[in-house]
Amino acid sequence: SPTPIIAPSILSADFAALGKACSDTMSQGADWLHIDIMDGHFVPNMTFGAPVVTMIRPHVEKPSSAFGRGTFDCHMMIAEPHRWVKEFKKAGCDLYCFHYEAALQSTAADSPSGQTEEKTSPAKLIRFIHEQGLRAGIAVKPKTPVDVLYPILDSENKEEVPDMVLVMTVEPGFGGQSFMADMMPKVKELREKYPEMNIEVDGGLSKKTIDQAADAGANVIVAGSAVFGAKDPSEVITKLREAVEK
Ligand code: DX5
Ligand code: ZN
């Protein structure tokens, strides 16, 4: 499978000193920054929007290649995800990961093209994200089965195929929840079907739970409280990476 990527979630960082928290976690060995955007509507919690991403961007060097070190992995836990693509591109986002469930509920009235007759769909949104020069990720909540993604992943239109799938291993909304091991069959099934795809897991990942995720085939590992709550964050990042490498 593709290279291991460790993406600390800044949800558990000190928001009053966010720039330094971001540059520190990068020098402690992080590959990407996982940036949780919550709107208090799609999930029962709020974080921040594009202005904060703009402010932290200068603290982390832009990636020199697709999926490279310094990638801003924006996890959009928001309704109407198509409305914020341009804004986040401008703010310095590299990978725009929206929720399948949110895209399904978006209305045609404000579709990416602005044409009322065009239906917003995950595929159309992925195309739109790519047109803006971003990588596209698609996330599924615990109750969403992965097979809904197969028609999207198997599309003949390469511009409408996502670059990453995020399998949530907690209900989105809060850091520090317990890892849902029962999500691993989803990861396993995806890995068997798509050996080269980036598969991200998010929620409850730690030194204790990483082996289950790694064995199932996840290669992009998000960890919030396990990294930012650690006495020695670089040791945690190293351990997570080693578990995926082996
Ligand atoms: C949860 C967020 C996660 C969260 C993970 O809704 O999407 O990224 O920060 O936090 P931990 O690693 O503490 O479970
Ligand atoms: Zn997240």
Pocket of ligand 1 (CB under 6 A): 9, 11-12, 34, 36, 75, 170, 172-177, 202-205, 222-226
- ipTM value, please give it: 0.99
The structure's pTM equals 0.96
Residue 154: CB atoms within 10 A of its CB come to 10
Q: Is the pLDDT of residue 149 over 50?
A: yes
Q: Tell me which residue has its CA closest to atom 4 in ligand 1.
A: 175
137: nearest Cα among 73, 201, 218, 42: 73
Q: What is the pLDDT of residues 183-195, one digit of tens each?
A: 999 999 999 999 9
pLDDT, mean of residues 77-89:
96
Q: Which residues are catalytic?
A: 36, 202
Of the listed ligands, the closest to the CA of 173 is 1
Tell me the C-alpha distance between 42 and 160, whole Å: 23
Beta-carbon contacts of 233 under 8 Å, excluding residues fewer than 6 positions away, are: 8, 24, 25, 28, 227
